[in-house]
Each structure stands twice: as C-alpha cells, then as structure tokens.
Structure 1
C-alpha cells in the first residue's frame, strides 16, 4: 500500500518512474519449506544488467531528492563550518618519538607524523597548533598522496618498528577490505621491495623489527591463517604460523605490550582460544593457553608480577559477566588465582596490562567504566566523571611503563576529549577537547536517560538529547510533539555509547530530538542483555525498539508522523523488521548497509562470514526450528501487503563484503511491489563503511540528513 501520511513528497506527475526489477522466480527449499525469490538474480554482481539496475536506482534516487540539493549543500557547509579542518591530534609517546596526525583544509585524508622527544623523561605531549611548525617533524605517510588516483582509500594497518626506523602500512583502494602491505624506510622515505597483497587488517611488526606478522582470509572472507614474513626475503617463502580449519572461527594476532609474546587469537561469538608464541622465537610451535571449550570465552594479558611471568585471564567459565584470574605464563592450565570474582551486573570487558598496574574496562548500569587495577592488592580504583551519560576508554597507550594513561572521553553534548590520567596522584589532565566551531556551547544542549517497558516487562534504557532552546520535549513546552530521530543497533553485544556528533547538530539545531534505543542484543546492560537478543530470542531486539518508539509517543516526546528511525548493518535488519512490525509508528526509516535478506545469507555457507555468524543467529541450514524462526522475522520475506509503510531510504555499497549490496537491492524491489515509497542509493566504489575521505563522508551524511528532515517536514527549516 502507498504512504498516505501528510508529508511533502513529489507528486506522481513530478516524480520520475521508479526502476522496476525484472521478476525471475528462484525457488529455495529447506526443511520442506519453499520460498519463491523473485529478485535473487540481482546477486550477479558482474552482470551488466545488475550494474545497470543499480545505476538506474541511483538515477531515480537523485531525481527524487533533487529538490533537497540546496538543503544538502547547507548541511554540508554546516558540518564543514563546525569542523576545524586544519588540526592536529594529541601526540602519543612511543620510544623516542611523539606520534600524531594532522588534517589540512581541503584534503580528504590525514597525514601521519612524528616529532622527537625533548628528553627521555618527557611525558608531557607538546602543544601543537595549526600553522605552527613542529621542530623535527617527519611526515611518515600522507593519505592524500597514497590515495592519489583512487576513488577509495583506507588504511588497515599502520605501525612503526620499535627502533623507529621502519613503517608498516596496509592499503585498500576498493572497499573490499583486502589490504596490500608495504614497508617504508623512514629515513629515506623509500618503500622496500617487500609487498604483500590480499591481507586482512591488523598486521604487526615484531619487536626486533625483523618480521611482519599478518593474516589472510579464506574464500568466505574469514580470517583463517597467520603468516610470518621475514623482511627482505621473497614473500613467496612466507611461513604460515597458524591455520584454523573450523569455519566457525576467525583468527587474529598481535604482540603483548610487554613485547614478550605474540598472541594468536581464535574465536567465534561464543567460544575462544588463545595461543602464545615467544616474540624472540616466532617459528616456535604456538602454545594454547586454555584448550577451547564450547561456550567459554577468554582473553589473556601478560604481566610481570614480583619477577614472575603471569597471565591475567578474563573469562566467562561459569561467570556470565566474566571474572579475572591469574595463572602462570609457563603453566597456564595449572592453578588459577581468582583476583576479581564474578559479580552479576558488572560486565568485565577488557584488561590492559602495564609494568606497574593494569587498566580495567567494565560496564555497570549501562555505562562504560575504567578502573586502575593494582597487582599487589587486586583492588580497582574507579575513575569518576561528572556527567550522567558519558563514554570513556583507553586512548592509545603503546608504552610498557608510562606514568600516565591516555584516555578518550565524550558524551552526547561534550565533544571528544583527550585526558592524561596520572596514576600515582589520580590527577586528570585535560590535553585537548575537539573544537566545534560556530559558537558551539555544550550548555545549549541536554541529555538524559529514560526507560521504556517492553512487552515482557523488561525495562529498556533510552538515551535522549535535544537543544534546550526548543524546550524539554517531555513537557510539551513547544505546544506539539517534536520531530524525533530514533537510532538502534542491538546485535553482537555491541553497545551504542554516548558520543557527540558534529553532523547531528544539523538535526538538533532544527529542533529534532535524537534518541538511542539500547535494545536487547547489544551489550549496554551486561552479557544477559546480549543473550536475550540473539538466536531464538532475536525478536526481542525488534519488539524492544517498537516499545521504545511507543513510549516516546505516549510520553509526548513525538508523534508517528514526526518520528524517523535509523540503523546500519545488523541495525539495518532491525530497521527492516520494525518496518514490518510497526510501520504505523514511523514517518521514515533510514537503513544503512542493511542486513535485510538475513535468512538467504545465513543459509549459504559459501557466502562471506556465514558460518561464523551461526553462533549469533543460529544455523537455519541444519536446524528447522532456527529456519522457521529466522523466516518469521527476516525483513525481505515478511514485507506486508496489508500495511501502510513509512518512506524508506536504503544506502549500500557495491563492494561491501559484510552485507552485500544485493540484500537492500532485493528488499527495495520487493517493497516497491506493495507500493512503498522506497529509495536505494548504492555507492559504486565503497565498502561496508561507505565512502572514504572526510569531505565525501560529510556529503554522504548531508544527503541522509536532508532526506530525514524532508520526511518530517523540516526541509525548509534553517539551523
């Protein structure tokens, strides 16, 4: 059915005809159930007719949104005008150098630089100012030079050797997350002959600077192998250190901060195993820390306590929200000393070990927390902050024995902030708060946490932020419900934490309220929160989001004709499911790289990452109950003919290897069959993260925000 809401849209006489995808029946039969897929032919990425269809969709979207070109340009200029285009990051110390990045007005990509320390005892980062020369500065890599001639550019690895002489970096110019590794002699600026194509992100240099450790993927895009390359030798002679044959597991590798071990990590979403290799003998046989057991996850951090090599192991063996134990590095399967016992409601998330203490990351009451962990006493000193909603995390601390910890902090109203925390005194030293130009004042905005109630009585946290001058949206001061944009994700135990967005100001300054529904399937409220939103509980994610939307309507924040929703990737699945469950609650839905043909993808083990994903969604290929459950919510298969849908914008990328373009392409074609006003925008040279380059990204976001404002009737509203 067509959208009948009183929202300004081009009239049928003004609008061009929407592309009509050819119907070619493809029959899929599993567990005695047959599904007739009319648009599966769109999966043939290399076929000329598929490319032509995507280009027709782009042309249609361009025509349908042409009336927003002026607004798009205004929003782009607003984002640009609030951003200090020529800027520098806060330097981070490693070895004899301060490392930092700089951006230059007019340039798409950043420059990676370094400058020498003033003295070995220098732990106070230099105050860098745009336009002021930095003594001894070296430009290690200029992204604009590396990206010259390429429509897409992304770095997947960037590391300098311990002695500061070599740079390792990995480049992707397609968006398919296949990186070519290169090595550069920093003194001469020349690249070495060593070049390794087809690698995964996250390569490392060995502490002695002799080797590169990197990983590669199998045909299903799963990182499955770890390789050792000796610098200066033919890459054809590279040695495979480790291979994981089980298709449910991914592999990664990296060195401990102590430089004592290479850690090879093997994991699915429910099970993990880690292996140690001595950093001074990388050809040694990898040694398992704890043999893997189905459903047990753990991670290890190396430390030296009272002269002994120990491993701190964070695990969930009979500890839902994880506990921390200490074991001998030489005999990790031996005696376990519990140093932080399991405490329900305190989800331990990570431990970063340093020479004298460790940094513990954990989550309590829906917020991230950081604490200093004392090796001797096992006590945790929590860092405290003033705001009721905030995000805090480690800000990059490569040194083994620093007197300070670099932290990153922010909230919905506080721009990204860099602190150095002095562990000995507890002092928090402000190093930089990201400037927001144009007179931005955090006091002009307000954030709060409210709670909605799900159908089963579960309380769902909701974060809300708005501009104060428009009045509190909950008290009806404006005289009518406000336009509200509701964001959600809810998968993989990923939390949507408070963060200020320059682009979001273009909504807030026009009176739009922004809200985040922290639905089950995410990690905001601990491991059980995640468990209750995955596998055969996945529908809780969708019904939680609907419950939040209804709560915001019932409490006067907004009304259905003034509310839009957004989610990306697995959050795009959420958008598709919500559109089917409660289309009457929204005026528009923005789905970015949406996982909307979930069942088709998860049924096909030959597709990228499918088998790994069975731990998250279930295995519908072999389990009829999982098949039936997924079929009950997969958006593409549940498009309704008896409903009035909101306007829908789906954004995707041709080279996305995580959620393939075909999913939103098929979904939009199906939605059009029932008369939905649906648009598809496909970036023809990009990957899962969308376009590259900051100006390109700003224009992409300006396009989306202009569409959202048009949906709620605020396209003519000046900021």
Structure 2
C-alpha cells in the first residue's frame, strides 16, 4: 500500500481475485485483506484509523465532553443486588476510578464479612483487553472455575481457584467457551471446547481436578450445530445441549454419577425445537412440537421420556409467544410476549392460582433475572422503559407484594423522567404489514420535519430489541434527537412468525421494513431525509449495508458497527467462525437458490456507482463473529465506487473483538465518537 498522510483518503490497492460458484463469476479486488498478519493489511487499517482520527480531530474536545457527560451519569462506586445461592450471598461491585468488576460473597448473612473472589482490575493489569466469564462455584463452596479472554476473540481459558487458600490451581484449559459445570463430587468439571479454527463449540469434556488427561464425553459431528453444558436448577442433572437454528437435542447425566454415561433425552429431528427443565420426577419441555409455532409447555416423566408420552401443560396460542420458564418449588413462572409486549405469568403448581404481573405502557421491557434458589416464594425480575431507569424488583408470589431492591441511579442532577415522552407507532410496509416502532424524545419536540432522528434496528436470529432505558442515549435526546427502535421482521417482537418472515428467502422483509419505517417517520414529519440517521451492528450492520444500497437518499448519515457485509463469500467459507451454524438463518449458498438470493442483497456485492450519505463504520481486529475484513473490504470498495464527497470513515479497534473495548468506561469513548459523528453532521458541537 502506498504511504499516505493522515489527511489523505486511504486508497487500498486492488488485486483481482476470481470467485466462481454455480457458473457465476465474481471479482473481489480486496480479497487480499483476509490475511490478518500481513503488513499491508495492518497498514491499511491503521491508515483508515489515522484518517478518521485526523478528520474528526475538530470534534476531539466535544468527544471528551460527551465521554465525561456519559460517565458522570453512571454511579462509579456501585454494586449489584446480592443474590443467595447454596448458603452464600453473591455480589458484583465497582469501585470509583476502576473499570472492571469485583466479585465477592458473604456467608449466610449480608452482615457477615466479605470474601473476595475475583478483582478483575488486578487481573486485567498488563492486558489491553480483559474479560472474565463463567464463574461456577463447586457444591461444597470451596472452589470456583472461571474463564479468561485477553484478546476479545471469545476464546476463553478455564482456570480454577481454591477459595480456601486463595490460590489459582495449575489446571488450565484452553479454547473453551469459558463456562463449566461441577458434578456433585466437587472434583469433576464438565466444559465445552471450541474448534481452534472455526471457534464452533463442538466438544464436551470431563476434567478431574489435578489431572491433565481430560475425557471427551460428547462430540457434535454436525457442523451446523453447537454445544453447551450446564447443570439443572434442581442440581440433579448435568445437561448437554446440542443446538442449531431449527433443531435441538439434549443429553443428561445425574450429577451424583459423573463417571456415568450421558443419555439422549430425545433424539434430534430436523425442525423440532425443545429445551428442558427438571422438577421433582418430571422434565418440563418448552417446544414447537405439533406445529406449535409460538411454542408450548409440555412435561414427561423422568423415567420415560418417549415423545409420545409428552403431555401439554400450557397449550400453544397463535397470539402468545412463550419465551422462557423459571421453575420454583411451589411455582411455575412463564415469560411470554403478546402483541410485542413482555408478560410474566405466575402459576402455582397445585393449580390454586394463575395470574399475570401488571404493566401499564407500551414501551417497557421486563424479564425474570437472577433466580437461582429453588425453594423460595420470591421472584426477581427487572423492569425498565424508554423513559424509566432499570429496577430490580423482588416479588412475593404468595402475598403478591413487591419490593424495589434497586433502581438505577442517573447521576448529574439533570435527568427527570417526566421530561421525556415515549410512544409506540406503526408503519405500513410495502406488503401491507404493520411494523411497530418504539419512539422516545424530549418533551417539547414538534413534528415539523426538522428534528434529527436516529433509527436503530437489528432484525436477525429471532433476537428482539426491546425498548430499554439508556443513560448514554440521553446525550442525544437532550440535544434534540428523537430515538427510534424499529421492530423489523427477523426478530421475534410479534412472535415466532415475525422471525420466520425475516429469514432465509424472506430476509429482504427485514431490509424493506426498516426502509418503510424511515419513509413513515419522514411522512409523519418526525424528521426529514436531511436529518435522518440510521444505525445497526453485526447483522444489524448488514441491514445498514442493504439500506445504503437500496435507499441512500433517505439518510444524512449511517453508523454500521462491526457489520456483516460480504454475505456470499463468508457463507461459502466454512472455515470462518459461525458460518456452518448459520445456514438455517441465511441459507446455504452451495444451493444455487440461496446463492442467488444472497447475492441479490449482499451489501458488498451490490455497491454501485452512486451517491451515498455520510458513513461511519467500526470493526474489531480480533472479532470472532464478523471478521474485520468484511467492513474493511466494504469501505475500500465503497471508496472506489461512490460518486459523492460525503464522509466515509472506518475505525478499527486493534485490541478488541465483536463487543468493542473491555472495561466499564472504555466503551463509552466509542459511544462518544459515534455521537460526535452524528451531532457534528447536525452542526452541534457542545
């Protein structure tokens, strides 16, 4: 790559690479960027970083102000609501001036002395990236397993800490998911190992403390599946879950018999989805069996798991999606979704009571939270809304009384929730489908077409972006922005069918829904194309890429975060992490039908000589989900093809992966940069 100054537009060299499939020939001039270690690749990424830094240097002070503003709203010396498990209260806390969590516990009573488990601030020293996950305490409370990642690539090394001596054992297990489950003998751990190349979790091993030769107990041979292992809430079973987009299979082993053999719960059948929970002498099964699109709850005897013996506990409903269950000694708690809204249903096992928790608006999110205790009358759940900070609530299922254990503090003295308005509105898509949007803005905003508006969406994998409160977002709202979450097809906001209608050969519905929401927002004068901005990340970044190709004239600016841009090439490369496991989401391009459909929308393949809006693209060099070269190649080709003089920036985090920077506040610097990009386009610099 030719050496350029930091103010020159980086121009990547072109090396034509021919890609042939189904007789179709594609020429990829930037295929060479796939070599992470190549000096010219690193030079190009650094040149783009320097260019972005230089061209945004006039916003540097504003970025610092935004960062401090965001940080000042967050309580630095904060702690989680303690929860009790197996005789100990567990607490996560943050201390002022420190960016990583501290994990502690107290025996029996919160009045007892605090025992330090892990101080991630100390552990993170010397690392540019640090993440601790999967803390698992042995049944006798004497040991803890945990996973460490120091690259951001989500490749964790499991270690074990002796909680009596405060020493880290010699056991080190690499290339894992980071989590592990203890058998009841306090000596045996079950964990999931990843493929070193694709990062697919595909093996479950048994590890005996102090021994180096771990035993392989399960291997998933189907490359479209991944595996995980966990312990049932009843603590009776170790459970291996083998999963794909459309199909599940479980294997079970009594936790008292770690050297026994896992038994299949029920063999996989393509299209049969199920998950299991153990209670007394039954298993409860959340499943789509019998064409239960929105799922139903069934149960079967612990000793006879034949699918013909499964019986309905909660029947399927066309208008209610069952998302999750929590099992307690006397209660069954069901998390549902109806007309896009979360619901929590509480049923007594003896049938004497069955009721829903009441919620009173259309832009809230509620979900059951940490409920690890089995023999209790109390349910913990979290609640927040677009205008309401998050609360952790303890609800007594017997007396039907609730207590707010903690409400998120918004520091700085400026936030008052009555100063903001939220609403749910609906756009009509080009096929007549009604598409919901959650909207929030500061009181006093007039719908005159002059408001800057940021529209966000994801729309893949059935992941629903619920309306949620954000202290960070206040920096936009207080400067006149309207914020909109478009609940496009591909998520499950309106049930399972909403997801099915936004995947595979229906994927374009996701993109058209977003565009049609934009058109509605302009038509109803919430904003105009001069002030409309769009944002999405990962698969939502793909959404941004398609939107930019399909309707660039609607937007003044777009932020594409770690975007999935080169759909066809990536889905044809089964050596890339996640590819084979996603055939049921995007389709397998080895099939010509799916190849042609993917190619028709793939952002990288559909860049044209056209005018594009202002664009900020982010990437992570160590990203394990969307490889850095996808956004890098896309930006390089866009620079080559675009006919406008608008901004195009690529900012690659050279020390992190898909989730961006580690540390509590480091990620706020990335948020501040993105907000400064948007606000600068609006002429706002304070």
Query: TM class by shorter-chain length?
Result: over 0.9
Q: Deviations over 1:636-664 (max 9, x none)?
A: 111121x3211111101000011000000
User: TM-score w.r.t. structure 1 length?
Assistant: 0.92
SS in 1 for 2:426: strand
For residues 483 and 576 of structure 1, the distance between their equivalents in structure 2, rounded to whole angstroms, comes to 21
The alpha-carbon deviation at position 335 of structure 1 amounts to 1.4
Determine the structure 2 residue equivalent to 1:449. Answer: 424
Q: Deviations over 1:218-264 (max 9, x none)?
A: 23211101111111222xx1111111100010001100010111111
SS in 2 for 1:45: coil
Mapping 1:204-603, distance limit 5 Å: 204-218=181-195, 219-234=197-212, 237-304=213-280, 309-317=281-289, 318-333=291-306, 334-377=308-351, 380-439=354-413, 440-468=415-443, 470-471=444-445, 473-474=446-447, 476=448, 480-603=449-572
For residues 632 and 378 of structure 1, the distance between their equivalents in structure 2, rounded to whole angstroms, comes to 56
Runs of at least 5 residues in structure 2 that lack an aligned partner in the other structure? none
The alpha-carbon deviation at position 378 of structure 1 amounts to 9.2
Alpha carbons 2:181, 2:191 under 8 Å: kept: yes
Alpha carbons 1:535, 1:617 under 8 Å: kept: yes
User: TM-score w.r.t. structure 2 length?
Assistant: 0.96
Which of 616, 620, 625 is matched with 1:658 structurally?
Answer: 625
The alpha-carbon deviation at position 609 of structure 1 amounts to 1.4
Determine the structure 2 residue equivalent to 1:630. Answer: 598
Q: Deviations over 1:412-432 (max 9, x none)?
A: 111111011101011111000
Residue 154 to residue 586, structure 1, CA distance change in 2 (3 Å): same
Q: Does 1:73 align with 2:64?
A: yes
SS in 2 for 1:77: helix
Determine the structure 1 residue equivalent to 2:24. Answer: 33
Q: How many residues align?
A: 675
SS in 2 for 1:666: helix
SS in 1 for 2:570: helix
Mapping 1:62-211, distance limit 5 Å: 62-118=53-109, 135-211=112-188
The alpha-carbon deviation at position 379 of structure 1 amounts to 6.6
Residue 530 to residue 378, structure 1, CA distance change in 2 (3 Å): farther
Alpha carbons 2:181, 2:238 under 8 Å: kept: no
Alpha carbons 2:31, 2:633 under 8 Å: kept: yes
Alpha carbons 1:322, 1:347 under 8 Å: kept: yes
Alpha carbons 1:241, 1:283 under 8 Å: kept: no
Determine the structure 2 residue equivalent to 1:122. Answer: none
Which of 633, 649, 661 is matched with 1:679 structurally?
Answer: 649
Larger CA deviation: 281-290 vs 77-86: 281-290
CA-atom RMSD, angstroms?
1.4
Alpha carbons 2:616, 2:650 under 8 Å: kept: yes
Larger CA deviation: 283-292 vs 218-227: 283-292
SS in 1 for 2:211: coil
Structure ranking higher on relative contact order (CA contacts 8 Å, 6+ apart):
1
SS in 2 for 1:60: helix
Runs of at least 5 residues in structure 1 that lack an aligned partner in the other structure? 1-13, 119-125, 127-133
SS in 2 for 1:289: strand
Alpha carbons 2:422, 2:438 under 8 Å: kept: yes
Alpha carbons 2:380, 2:394 under 8 Å: kept: yes
The alpha-carbon deviation at position 15 of structure 1 amounts to 8.7
SS in 1 for 2:389: coil
For residues 201 and 187 of structure 1, the distance between their equivalents in structure 2, rounded to whole angstroms, comes to 22
SS in 2 for 1:686: coil
- The structure 1 segments of at least 4 consecutive aligned residues displaced by more than 3 Å after TM superposition are none
SS in 1 for 2:266: coil
Alpha carbons 1:167, 1:183 under 8 Å: kept: yes
SS in 2 for 1:564: strand
